[in-house]
A and B are shown apart, each in its own frame.
Chain A
Amino acid sequence: MLHKKFSRLLVLVMALAMVAALVPTTTLALAQESKGLIVIITPAHDNPFFKAEADSAQAAAEALGYETLVLIHDDDPALQDQHFDLAIAQGAKAIIVDNAGADASIAAVQKAKDAGIPTFLIDREINATGIAAAQIISNNYQGAVLGAEEFVRLMGEEGKYVELTGKESDTNAHIRSQGYHDVLDQYPDLVMVAQQTANWSQTEAFEVMETIIQAHPDIKGVISGNDTMAMGAMAALQAAGMTDVIVVGFDGSQDVLDAIKEGKIHATVLQPVAQFGPLAVEMAHKYITTGELPAEEKISIDCILITPENVNDYFNFAPVK
């Protein structure tokens, strides 16, 4: 009796497992006539910035007839390294990557190069040249200067402010902070009362901001190294009833654009991320078909300041047509 019951259960369980494994694969496109595989690796898609980045690259590659594999590395260089192995094992034609660490990614890019696969870096650089086929980045310094100038204007050139910085290991965190301070430090009446990292994270920014508010309830502005941290800081400020504090972000993500429309955040700097992917795909396509690489390895694209005046001109990192 028990045996019968049990075998039934076992069959059921196995059937369930098979169904669970089967269901999502039905969404797969059948491999048709393909020009080869392009592997796209980015940080986690819970940040809309990276989702937009990956989606735009994928769309561009598929439009040109490539198969794509979109992977995320969760800012973990070891996981990224595994993804590179996978791309190499699958004989990818090109790798497009928003990397997991300026130093920790060098070996992976080198490995791909040794295997004859060009890597096109987008958004973040690595601390080496001559290994990647191209490094397409937004002009973070120019963007930071834009953001800081607007921040100064909003602050009326005076008052206490807080800076939230990004992940220590990320070059962009330093470049942006540098850009901010090259402008802000020219105004002696602007006083930075706290500078803290929130590791690009919304929840961390919320907690950090909550704590800073306890120590400095009289702050007038917050300038943040990216938009997710700006959102976290804004939430903490709103919760504390400090709705008139000026918040400036960096990235141009849609939720911040929405917050600008509502007047909760005052400005951000839009990185033309929707251009990165397509540009990288275009370069990869050129390399695959003609063997030609871009003349310059480092290509920087200028950022755009977003204020309540032009906020409606952009949606999901791209200009509204």
Chain B
Amino acid sequence: MADAKLQSSETVSIARTFRGRVTLQGLLVQLRAFIALILLLTFFTIVSEPFTKESNQIILAKQVAINAILGIGMTFVILTGGIDLSVGSIVGLTGMIAGGLINEGLVLEPLNKVVYFNVWMVGLISILVGMFVGLINGILITRFNVAPFIATLGTLYMARGFSLLRNNGATFPNLIGKPELHNTGFPKLGAGTFLGLPYSIWIMIGLGLLAIFITKKTPFGRQVYAIGGNRRAAELSGVRVKTITLLTYVISGFCAAVVGLIVTSQLVASHPSTGETWELNAIAAVVLGGTSLAGGRGTILGTIVGAFVIGVLRNGMILEGLSSFWQMVITGFVIILAVIIDQVQQQLQERKR
């Protein structure tokens, strides 16, 4: 929510691009995720006393962080006009990899040796596994021309399968490590705080700022937008479309792996089915944040705000004791609403031209 100032100044500049002047309607539409967030915050602050507690705000942000980090990676992919359905499975797989490395170590059968890594190495290896799945997605899509939806649907199943296979469907419990193996400290990632905020919130802020910088200030970022905007034109103007597209899936895999580590650490156990359907939450956050599924249009900040909209909505509804069935109905309604507004915005933009 500290992003408020950033958001408004940024969106004003976007709204100006409507023929160089700020129109109220343009601003309202551009800011829709943000306005929805303000409305929801105001609403729940009025109706729900427990919602306003500081402790609740912190856990709210902590829960949003999971979806927001997935959403950040997903935004890169969607900006190129792709989609990544495998992120939920990558969350589960990287969690199982980390859990296995801590509890069982790496078994080198021919040498009859078991290697235990310290938690930093465990984290690094898990992240590399996540990026590797992303790399496979990217290769399937760019080298074998498999449609992103199909390629990542395939890896969704495969990664989930491997995640279940890793320990035969069972959980790796009690991931506290052993002092004699020098691999203690893993739960800190999930339980630790800095300046009163859990690490996951800081990771969200850090990755968010980094991603905003990448999308706004680097050639890579501009090329991502260019590919989504007009793939052929981007190709003709010398953008290495395949490489850039491939990299976006690696980024998405990276973000999913980070989430896998955070969740595993929070539970102090890795559960093979963790992350099921989380890809859909991440896509919802991206879409709510104003990123077009057709690619080329959207912002990282929008995605984070979108994740907050979903998080606030859910937290508030839970606190108000709303049945989980109603929660699903309302969440779906809000997502559809966001897309309708998106369509209205595009029509508005087109008529102005």
Which residues from chain A sit less than 8 Å from chain B, CB to CB? 2-3, 6-7, 9-10, 13-14, 16-18, 20-21, 24-25, 28, 31, 44-45, 68-72, 75-78, 81-83, 85-86, 88-91, 101-104, 106-108, 111, 127, 168-169
Contacts and interface: CB of A to CB of B under 8 A. Distances in A.
A10 B267 contact: no
Contact of A25 (B47, B263, B315): B47
B173 A104 contact: yes
Q: Is the interface of A mostly helix, strand, loop or mixed?
A: helix
A6 B348 contact: yes
Interface string B317-333: 01111111110001001
Contacts of B330: 20-21, 24
Contacts of A44: 324
A81 B170 CA distance: 18
9 contacts: A9-B344, A68-B321, A71-B318, A77-B269, A86-B318, A88-B55, A89-B56, A103-B171, A106-B174
B268 A106 contact: yes
Contacts of B3: none
Interface residues of B, number: 60
Contacts of B341: 10, 13
A88 B50 CA distance: 12
A6 B267 contact: no
Given A69-B319, A78-B267, A85-B62, A45 B36 contact: no
Contacts of A71: 318, 324
A21 B314 CA distance: 11
Given A21-B43, A89-B59, A168-B169, A107 B319 contact: no
A6 B171 contact: no
Q: 7 tightest CB-CB pairs across the interface, nearest first?
A: A103-B173, A107-B268, A89-B55, A168-B169, A103-B171, A85-B59, A104-B269
A101 B337 CA distance: 36
B26 to A, nearest CB: 10
B276 A76 contact: yes
B63 A85 contact: yes
B58 A25 contact: no
A78 B263 contact: yes
B231 interface: no
B274 A17 contact: no
Contacts of B39: 14, 17-18
B326 A24 contact: yes
Contact of B337 (A2, A17, A28): A17
